[in-house]
Amino acid sequence: MFQAVIDFLKDYGPWGLVIHSFLDAVIFPIPAFFTQVSLSLINPTSALWLATVGYIACLVGTPVGYYLGKLMGKSVLYRFLKKEWIDAATDKFQKNGEAAILLGSFTPIPFKVFTILSGVLNFPLWRLMAYAAVGRAAKFYVVGAMFYLYGRSAESMVKDVSLYIFLIATPIILIFLFIRAKVRKKRRLAEQAKQRDSVSIKIMSL
């Protein structure tokens, strides 16, 4: 059944990838990665174009998944997706929503979990779109670039592409979060000091 779905979508060429990528961000259980790879194998010179249409369709589908979660809540997740996926994604969101979206863009956890969960947990849509744009670009364009540069021989290389991106991106994201936390702490301390100074001035003026 899995392969039959991929073959069906592949018959529609780039439009099949558009449909798959859109649904991948909403509710479809099979990642668009497989259709992208199948089409890139047919014509590696079009791999970057396929990455582009798949990427755009995924971003268009992202707010649809978001509002689906916002309107229908976790019942949607538990009905269509595995409990362990939901629990893993929820745990990541509780620790840091931005990191969850970035890492979720190229981990084995289906991306629609993160779009729907963002709506369920009222995560700001603009932030979901911003971080999804970065994470999904990495996933689509790394695959596209590998097929464009290495042709059909890239098929064996892209099987572990999610793992490679994850290993490279994780330390970068952690460094970003560490720096951001330091900046926020410094800003918060500065604001507290400013408030204390303002109170002291008011007391002295009395």
pLDDT tens for each residue of 17-27: 999 999 988 88
Which segments of 11-46 does DSSP mark as H helices, in order? 14-24, 33-42
| Whole-Å CA distances, 50 to 13, 31, 47, 71, 193 | 9, 15, 5, 32, 53
Longest dimension (CA), the chain: 80
Query: Do 161 and 142 touch, CB atoms closer than 8 A?
Result: yes
Q: Which residue, among 176, 98, 104, has the nearest Cα to 139 in the 3D structure? A: 104
Q: Where do the structural domains in the chain lie, given as residue ranges?
A: 2-205
Q: Which residue has the higher pLDDT, 28 or 107?
A: 28
- How many Cα neighbours within 13 Å face the side chain of 95? 11
Distance between CA atoms of residues 1 and 3, nearest Å = 6
For the cut 70, the answer to whether the pLDDT of residue 95 exceeds it is no
Please, which pLDDT band fits residue 1 given cuts at 50, 70 and 90?
A: low
Q: Kindly state the DSSP code that residue 185 receives in the 8-state scheme.
A: H
Distance between CA atoms of residues 123 and 98, nearest Å = 9
Please, which pLDDT band fits residue 49 given cuts at 50, 70 and 90?
A: very high
Mean pLDDT of the chain: 79
Please report, to the nearest 10 degrees, the dihedral formed by the alpha carbons of residues 187, 193, 196, 200 taken in order: -140
pTM of this prediction?
0.73
The helix/strand/coil state of 81 is: coil
Please, which pLDDT band fits residue 124 given cuts at 50, 70 and 90?
A: confident
